[in-house]
């Protein structure tokens, strides 16, 4: 039994805001993390678990200034000042994996949020309003990848009495607009620094160090990307969750560097000798958007049929090396250069390039219900991929709300798709 | 599927109230707001996910059926609108397709970004027409649009509800060709008539069709004393710019002023500062003596979905009853909507005295 299952069984029914703030819970979680039962397939997952446990414990037990941010907000800026970064969207994924999402989704519905919006954000709204997320001092959102994140964080800032800073990322990056975005990052960093009693020079020094570490992790992530291109792919999509969250949250930290170092090294060790559980790689798939986070058998089912997800939309390095001497402009380039910013043909071109690089046989676009930016762009992305000769399946579902999961239907669609390949 | 180009067609389609019609006008083109046909949007489902704003899908479906307009300016106001731009550009291949970035902030950063994109729009319009936009042309366009908005307001003075919104919609569809006596703007387009008696109510929301849901509200017994919707009263707001203020400025300077003024308008819920909008709504309710608020959110509009709980709290605190209606833009299910509106009107007959909030 894995750690997630242990935690789910122990705390699912008794979870309360008070329990989350109790030292007993965190002691127990740390003990489980260190126990002999916690033997993840990838050693790096021990680092990611420790990273998140440490941050979350600090956030819940009042040992740090808590800052909430959305997925495209650069974590380097938060780590630079030593604040405790908390990502409500990622927390929703954890909540879903523990089987707790329906409870918070119902609370969000009772507060007036209809089910037509994204369940990552509705879960965050329900959990935060009930005191299940650590109280923030500041909330940052970049205006991409989606509107929902900005609306959610803006709403919660008011509800929780914290400061919200929304950053406008230009859809058309050029020297002028990047400079304006850099100015917004500078303003945000100095405001956060001031809250934490840091002088500007200390903020800049912190940023310098964070950007150096970020570049180290970036280089390792590029190595991992190159390794995943090999046949058979030594790291399947099923084994990725830790990597996805570390890309969003840990860049700029020592743990981030350690995680990607260990992951890269272990992939090198395993090259040409995929794990016993992995079946022969018959079909290489590109997966777009995310996958269901609640317990489900989809990933195993795909692997059993020899279908390996060899590349993922969110497990990529999309930015150039950062300049530690010009941190704000570097971060502006990093964020504004992401393919999820601006028109969808940027994303479509990036996906087509990915499909070519990784020599995939087909692509799956997971249409997470309520994700406007992704679902509404799916036909265009599919059109681009199909023009490149990559058959693409659009699969409707929900990443967080397990009540919407119909594995039978999903399998039928995937089965038909795999046969057609 | 592609639209057919026509050299004589100077119409430039636009969708969002933050679109600077003045700049399009100054390029010698004719800005027209597109509304689509709410009852007929299924055709767009293959190009834009069905869980996307039905207004946007209605506009796309109309373009799939009709010829033109061949030039479009999309404001990057939400995920759905951006994807409408993407789908339109990719699948319908119009002659001109511009995505105007629209920030959420209204401070130095927001004004700077919006100004930058207005300059980009200017360059693209000049390339399209082969003519430079002169300071004189832009000044005249600003002045003409300001005058027309004022004229619209004057002509609609004393009008309420459906009749008032029809005027605003006519101006958005006709542009500067609109005249106060314009039959299209003034005459009811269906058998339903506006009413000036009934329970005073403020309607707030995004795009609400005059001859659909608004008419239904009047039929139910509402007297719509204000229509705080982006196709209605929000379009009556002028920018507060006059020719003297623009005198001596080049195109760049004037576009900076436009950026500042557009962002200074009463904000749409997509903007960071939604509190100002809530205050404006509360003030409107007090000024008009309305007995309640009907909040109409078009389905799948994230900005309004996330705004409602906050606005409801503000209205509850002021003991103003509110009814939330969700519109699919086709305004089908009339019977169900009518029943809900009638029930709301019955309740607010005495709810103010009882101090009840949401219904």
Whether residues B79 and B195 fall in one domain: no
Identify the pLDDT of residue A35: 80
Pairing between strand B292-298 and B322-327?
A: parallel
- How confident is the model over A359-406, as pLDDT tens digits? 999 999 999 999 999 999 999 999 999 999 999 999 999 999 999 998
User: In this model, does residue B194 exceed pLDDT 60?
Assistant: no
Closest CA to A336 of A163, A174, A122, A150: A174
d(C-alpha A223, C-alpha B168), whole Å: 58
Determine the distance in angstroms separating the CA of A379 from the nearest CA of chain B, rounded to an integer: 6
Give the pLDDT band (50/70/90) at residue B38: confident
Closest CA to A379 of B68, B41, B36, B88: B88
The domain A40-420 is placed in CATH, from the list 1.20.120.420, 1.10.10.10, 3.30.930.10, 3.40.50.11900, at 3.40.50.11900
Nearest Cβ partner for B305 among A114, A164, A166: A114
Whether residues B119 and B188 fall in one domain: no
Nearest chain B alpha carbon to A384: B90
SS3 call for B33: strand
Q: Across the interface, do B310 and A158 touch by the CB < 8 Å criterion? A: yes
Residues B296, B301, B306: CA angle, nearest 5 degrees: 85
Share of chain B above pLDDT 70, in %: 90
Determine the distance in angstroms separating the CA of B6 from the nearest CA of chain A, rounded to an integer: 26
Average the pLDDT over A26-34 and give the result. Answer: 83
Whether residues B179 and B54 fall in one domain: no
User: In this model, does residue B358 exceed pLDDT 60?
Assistant: no
With respect to residue B210, please indicate whether it lies within any of the assigned structural domains.
Answer: yes
A–B CB contacts, 8 A cutoff, strictly below: 132
Nearest chain A alpha carbon to B113: A177
Nearest Cβ partner for B120 among A155, A172, A375: A172
Phi, psi of A14, rounded to the nearest 5 degrees: -100, 0
With respect to residue B258, please indicate whether it lies within any of the assigned structural domains.
Answer: yes
Nearest chain B alpha carbon to A370: B51
> Count of alpha carbons within 13 Å of A337, Cβ hemisphere only?
16
With respect to residue B123, please indicate whether it lies within any of the assigned structural domains.
Answer: yes
For residue B176, the 8-state DSSP code is G
Are B48 and A376 in contact by the 8 Å Cβ rule? The answer is yes
Whether residues B180 and B36 fall in one domain: no
Identify the pLDDT of residue B357: 45
Q: Across the interface, do A146 and B76 touch by the CB < 8 Å criterion? A: no
- How confident is the model over B161-183, as pLDDT tens digits? 888 888 888 889 888 887 766 54
With respect to residue B340, please indicate whether it lies within any of the assigned structural domains.
Answer: yes
pLDDT winner (highest mean) among A238-247, B176-185, B296-305: B296-305
Are B291 and B199 in contact by the 8 Å Cβ rule? The answer is yes
Place of tokens 């190595």: A223
Average the pLDDT over A204-216 and give the result. Answer: 98
Identify the pLDDT of residue A244: 77
Q: Across the interface, do A376 and B105 touch by the CB < 8 Å criterion? A: no
Q: Across the interface, do A344 and B83 touch by the CB < 8 Å criterion? A: yes
Average the pLDDT over A81-101 and give the result. Answer: 92
Determine the distance in angstroms separating the CA of A377 from the nearest CA of chain B, rounded to an integer: 6
User: In this model, does residue A149 exceed pLDDT 50?
Assistant: yes
With respect to residue B2, please indicate whether it lies within any of the assigned structural domains.
Answer: no
Other C-beta atoms lying within 10 Å of the C-beta of residue A106: 13
Q: Where are the beta strands (DSSP E) in A97-148?
A: 138-142
Instruction: Check if B276 contacts A (Cβ < 8 Å).
Output: no
Whether residues B36 and B18 fall in one domain: yes
Q: What is the CATH number of the domain that holds B314?
A: 3.40.50.11900
Whether residues B208 and B338 fall in one domain: yes
User: In this model, does residue A82 exceed pLDDT 50?
Assistant: yes
Among B75, B92, B279, B309, pick the best mutation site for testing chain A contact (most A Cβ within 10 A).
B309
Instruction: Check if B274 contacts A (Cβ < 8 Å).
Output: yes
Q: What is the CATH number of the domain that holds B84?
A: 3.40.50.11890
Whether residues B316 and B181 fall in one domain: yes
- How confident is the model over B82-132, as pLDDT tens digits? 999 999 999 999 999 999 999 999 999 999 999 999 999 999 999 999 999
| Domain total of chain B | 2
β-sheet bridge partners, residue B33: B14
Residues of chain A contacting B87 with CB distance shorter than 8 Å: 376, 379-380
Residues 6+ apart with CB under 8 A from A181: A167, A168, A169, A170, A173, A332, A335, A336, B109
Pairing between strand A138-142 and B71-76?
A: unpaired
Are B134 and B126 in contact by the 8 Å Cβ rule? The answer is no
Residues of chain A contacting B61 with CB distance shorter than 8 Å: none
Nearest Cβ partner for B306 among A155, A177, A372: A155
Q: Where are the beta strands (DSSP E) in chain B?
A: 11-14, 30-33, 71-76, 96-101, 199-205, 222-228, 292-298, 322-327
Determine the distance in angstroms separating the CA of A59 from the nearest CA of chain B, rounded to an integer: 26
Whether residues B81 and B69 fall in one domain: yes
Q: Across the interface, do A343 and B306 touch by the CB < 8 Å criterion? A: no
d(C-alpha B299, C-alpha B49), whole Å: 13
Instruction: Check if B312 contacts A (Cβ < 8 Å).
Output: yes
Whether residues B25 and B100 fall in one domain: yes
Q: Where are the beta strands (DSSP E) in B180-229?
A: 199-205, 222-228
Determine the distance in angstroms separating the CA of A105 from the nearest CA of chain B, rounded to an integer: 14
Nearest chain B alpha carbon to A183: B109
Give the Å distances, CA to CA, from B24 to B4, B120, B241, B261, B316: 21, 12, 17, 17, 42
- Exposed, middle or buried, A417 (CB in 10 Å: 0-12/13-18/19+)? buried
Determine the distance in angstroms separating the CA of A367 from the nearest CA of chain B, rounded to an integer: 9
Instruction: Check if B340 contacts A (Cβ < 8 Å).
Output: no
SS3 call for B272: coil
User: In this model, does residue B184 exceed pLDDT 50?
Assistant: no
Whether residues B167 and B214 fall in one domain: yes
Give the pLDDT band (50/70/90) at residue B188: very low
> Count of alpha carbons within 13 Å of A366, Cβ hemisphere only?
22
User: In this model, does residue A277 exceed pLDDT 50?
Assistant: no
Nearest Cβ partner for B113 among A166, A170, A372: A170
Domain residues for the domain of B200 are 143-236+270-354
d(C-alpha A209, C-alpha B89), whole Å: 43
Q: Across the interface, do A147 and B303 touch by the CB < 8 Å criterion? A: yes
d(C-alpha A400, C-alpha A368), whole Å: 9
Closest CA to A182 of A198, A194, A170: A170
User: In this model, does residue B317 exceed pLDDT 80?
Assistant: yes
- How confident is the model over A295-337, as pLDDT tens digits? 999 988 998 999 999 999 988 899 999 999 999 999 999 999 9
Q: Across the interface, do A147 and B270 touch by the CB < 8 Å criterion? A: yes
With respect to residue B24, please indicate whether it lies within any of the assigned structural domains.
Answer: yes
Among the listed ranges B230-239, B265-274, B316-325, which one has the minimum average pLDDT value? B230-239
Identify the pLDDT of residue B182: 57
Average the pLDDT over B136-161 and give the result. Answer: 87
Nearest Cβ partner for A343 among B86, B274, B324: B86
Determine the distance in angstroms separating the CA of A343 from the nearest CA of chain B, rounded to an integer: 6
Average the pLDDT over A91-114 and give the result. Answer: 92
| Average confidence score pLDDT of chain A | 91
- Exposed, middle or buried, A61 (CB in 10 Å: 0-12/13-18/19+)? middle
Among the listed ranges A23-37, B5-19, B95-109, B191-205, which one has the minimum average pLDDT value? B191-205
Nearest Cβ partner for B52 among A152, A170, A376: A376
Identify the pLDDT of residue B91: 96
Among B76, B104, B117, pick the best mutation site for testing chain A contact (most A Cβ within 10 A).
B104
Domain end call among B248, B264, B280 = B264
Among B45, B47, B51, B110, pick the best mutation site for testing chain A contact (most A Cβ within 10 A).
B51
DSSP notation for A384-413: HHHHTT--EEEEEE-SS-GGG--HHHHHHH
Nearest chain A alpha carbon to B358: A112
Whether residues B165 and B19 fall in one domain: no
Whether residues B50 and B185 fall in one domain: no
Nearest chain A alpha carbon to B51: A370
With respect to residue B359, please indicate whether it lies within any of the assigned structural domains.
Answer: no
Give the pLDDT band (50/70/90) at residue A10: low
Identify the pLDDT of residue B236: 77
Instruction: Check if B326 contacts A (Cβ < 8 Å).
Output: yes
SS3 call for B327: strand
With respect to residue B5, please indicate whether it lies within any of the assigned structural domains.
Answer: no
Give the Å distances, CA to CA, from A114 to A54, A122, A249, B162: 34, 9, 29, 28
For residue A237, the 8-state DSSP code is G
Nearest chain A alpha carbon to B270: A151
Q: Across the interface, do B78 and A372 touch by the CB < 8 Å criterion? A: yes
Nearest Cβ partner for A166 among B80, B105, B310: B105
Average the pLDDT over B259-264 and give the result. Answer: 96
Identify the pLDDT of residue A23: 85
Residues of chain B contacting A177 with CB distance shorter than 8 Å: 101, 113, 116
For residue B267, the 8-state DSSP code is P
Nearest Cβ partner for B302 among A184, A372, A377: A372
């Amino acid at each position: 039994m894995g750690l997630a299952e242990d935690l789910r069984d122990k705390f699912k029914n008794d979870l309360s805001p008070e329990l989350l703030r109790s030292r007993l819970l965190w002691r127990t979680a740390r003990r489980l993390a260190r126990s002999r039962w916690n033997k993840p397939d990838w050693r790096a997952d021990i680092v990611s678990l420790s990273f998140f446990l440490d941050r979350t414990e600090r956030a819940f037990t009042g040992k740090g200034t808590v800052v909430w941010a959305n997925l495209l907000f650069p974590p380097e800026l938060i780590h630079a000042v030593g604040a405790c970064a908390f990502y409500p969207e990622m927390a929703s994924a954890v909540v879903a994996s523990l089987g707790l999402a329906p409870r918070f989704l119902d609370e969000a519905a009772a507060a007036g949020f209809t089910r037509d919006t994204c369940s990552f954000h509705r879960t965050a709204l329900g959990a935060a309003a009930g005191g299940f997320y650590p109280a923030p001092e500041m909330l940052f959102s970049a205006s991409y990848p989606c509107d929902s994140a900005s609306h959610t964080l803006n709403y919660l800032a008011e509800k929780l009495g914290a400061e919200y800073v929304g950053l406008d990322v230009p859809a058309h990056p050029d020297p002028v607009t990047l400079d304006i975005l850099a100015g917004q990052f500078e303003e945000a960093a100095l405001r956060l620094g001031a809250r934490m009693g840091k002088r500007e020079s200390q903020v800049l020094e912190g940023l310098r160090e964070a950007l150096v570490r970020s570049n180290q992790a970036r280089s390792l992530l590029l190595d991992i990307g190159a390794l995943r291109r090999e046949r058979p792919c030594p790291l399947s999509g099923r084994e990725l969750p830790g990597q996805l969250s570390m890309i969003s949250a840990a860049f700029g930290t020592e743990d981030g560097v350690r995680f990607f170092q260990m992951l890269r090294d272990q992939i090198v060790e395993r090259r040409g000798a995929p794990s016993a559980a992995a079946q022969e790689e018959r079909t290489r798939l590109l997966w777009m958007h995310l996958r269901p986070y609640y317990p489900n058998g989809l990933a195993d089912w795909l692997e059993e049929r020899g279908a390996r997800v060899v590349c993922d939309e969110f497990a990529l390095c999309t930015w150039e090396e950062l300049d530690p001497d010009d941190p704000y402009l570097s971060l502006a380039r990093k964020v504004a250069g992401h393919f999820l910013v601006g028109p969808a043909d940027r994303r479509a071109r990036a996906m087509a390039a990915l499909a070519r690089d990784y020599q995939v046989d087909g692509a799956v676009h997971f249409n997470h219900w309520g994700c406007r930016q992704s679902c509404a762009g799916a036909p265009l992305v599919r059109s681009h991929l199909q023009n490149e000769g990559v058959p693409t399946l659009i699969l409707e579902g929900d990443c967080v709300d397990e009540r919407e999961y119909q594995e039978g239907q999903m399998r039928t669609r995937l089965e038909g798709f795999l046969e057609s390949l | 599927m592609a639209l057919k180009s026509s050299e004589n067609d100077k119409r430039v389609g636009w969708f969002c109230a933050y679109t600077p019609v003045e700049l399009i006008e100054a390029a010698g083109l004719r800005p027209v707001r597109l509304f689509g046909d709410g009852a007929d949007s299924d055709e767009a489902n293959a190009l834009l996910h069905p869980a996307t704003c039905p207004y946007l899908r209605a506009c796309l479906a109309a373009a799939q059926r009709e010829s033109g307009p061949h030039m479009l300016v999309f404001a990057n106001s939400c995920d759905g609108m951006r994807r409408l731009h993407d789908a339109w550009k990719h699948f319908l291949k119009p002659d001109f397709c511009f995505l105007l970035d629209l920030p959420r902030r209204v401070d130095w950063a927001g004004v700077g970004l919006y100004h930058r994109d207005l300059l980009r729009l200017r360059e693209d319009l000049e390339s399209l027409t082969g003519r430079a936009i002169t300071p004189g042309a832009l000044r005249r366009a600003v002045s003409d649009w300001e005058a027309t908005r004022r004229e619209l307001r004057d002509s609609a003075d004393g009008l309420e509800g459906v009749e008032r919104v029809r005027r605003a919609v006519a101006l958005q569809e006709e542009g500067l060709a609109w005249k106060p006596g314009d039959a299209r703007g003034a005459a009811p387009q269906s058998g339903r008539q506006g009413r000036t008696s009934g329970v005073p109510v403020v309607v707030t929301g995004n795009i609400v069709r005059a001859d659909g849901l608004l008419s239904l509200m009047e039929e139910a017994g509402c007297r719509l004393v204000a229509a705080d919707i982006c196709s209605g009263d929000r379009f009556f707001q002028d920018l507060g710019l006059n020719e003297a203020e623009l005198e001596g400025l080049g195109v760049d300077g004037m576009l900076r002023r436009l950026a500042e003024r557009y962002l200074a308008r009463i904000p749409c819920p997509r903007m960071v500062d939604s509190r100002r909008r809530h205050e404006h709504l509360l003030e409107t309710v007090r000024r008009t003596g309305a007995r309640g608020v009907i909040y109409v959110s078009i389905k799948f509009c994230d900005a309004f979905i996330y705004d409602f709980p906050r606005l409801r709290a503000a209205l509850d605190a002021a003991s103003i009853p509110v009814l939330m209606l969700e519109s699919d833009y086709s305004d089908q299910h009339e019977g169900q909507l009518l029943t809900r509106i009638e029930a709301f009107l019955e309740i607010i007959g005495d709810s103010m005295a009882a101090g009840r909030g949401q219904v």
